[in-house]
Amino acid sequence: MELAYYAGEFRDINEAVIPIDERGHQFGDGVYEFIRVYKGVPFSIERHLDRLERSAKAIFIELPVSRQELKDIIHQAMEKSTLKDADIYIQVTRGIAPRNHLFPDVPAQLALTIRHPRQTPEEAYEKGIFTLLLEDERWANCYIKSLNLLPNLLAKQAAASKGCKEAILVKDGYITEGSSSNVFAIKDNVLFTTPATRKILSGITRANVLECAQEQAIQIREQNMTPSFLKDADEVFITSTSVGLLPVSKIDEVELPTFRPVTVALKHAYSLRTAGTKAYQ
């Protein structure tokens, strides 16, 4: 069963409602997290909650529940839904108040949903995906996991209109990240990815993949990459909580090599982490 949690109550997801004056609805005034549950274990939950706390602090929202209370709500959602594999979406907003740009003196609001996991076709992992390079038109604080995702949506839709799965964003001549993913490249057996600055959302999957690379003694360079560098790479892949590690077969009109030994090795290592073990909570 898919469920929603709001105002302290669980409901069937199709029956859940929010007040019209909810600031998440009116302004996108809030932050969120997305956690994948594998075999009854919420993967990297501590890292996700760390980031939720950082994002909330960055926009001056005090979380309405403690960390332990939020973990208890997450586990209640898992128990009530009976889902062993699931997508959990957590949203914290500045609260409910008549529309006004100034911050209201009201408590923050927590919402959560638990759903069946979104599935990426196995063919995408085998053949790779097409991507499109687009100008990064987002704001300057992309390290905050904000509800304001309109530029990301426009980029993703523009890519989809060209038959591409993901938009790879470019700012000031350098790759930042995907519209909903982080970007990696392999060149001469070295793993490259954009540095974790304010220009990107440093993904939880990104962090896990970097650790997998370290465990396999793969050399890592966090440095800015140009579009031409990416197109000339031996291998390219994207990462996110929803897709895990997904190879890229095409950037714009440039086809990439189909031999992806490093990508395959890292994907295998990552899959071992998501096998439902509590060691990677």
pLDDT tens per residue across span 137-168 = 999 999 999 999 999 999 999 999 999 999 99
In a domain, 184, yes or no: yes
140 and 256 housed in the same domain: yes
Let me know whether 136 and 107 are in one domain.
Answer: no
- At 216, phi and psi to the nearest 5? -100, 10
Number of domains in the chain: 2
Q: pTM value?
A: 0.96
* Catalytic residue numbers, as ranges: 145
Q: Are β-strands 86-93 and 109-115 bridged in parallel, bridged antiparallel, or unpaired?
A: antiparallel
Cα separation, 152 vs 92, in Å, equals 20
Position 278 confidence tier, pLDDT thresholds 50, 70, 90: low
**Is the pLDDT confidence value at 16 over 60?**
yes
- Whether residue 244 lies inside any domain: the answer is yes
Res. 71 pLDDT band, cuts 50 70 90: very high
* Eight-state DSSP code of residue 241: T
Q: How far is CA 196 from CA 182, 240, 259, in A?
A: 10, 15, 28
pLDDT at 114 over 70: yes
Nearest CA to 171 out of 186, 183, 153 is that of 183
Instruction: Give the end of a domain, one of 115, 133, 168.
Output: 115
CATH number, domain of 93, equals: 3.30.470.10
Whether residues 101 and 134 share a domain: the answer is no
pLDDT for res 218: 98
Which structural domain, as residue segments, surrounds residue 53?
A: 3-115
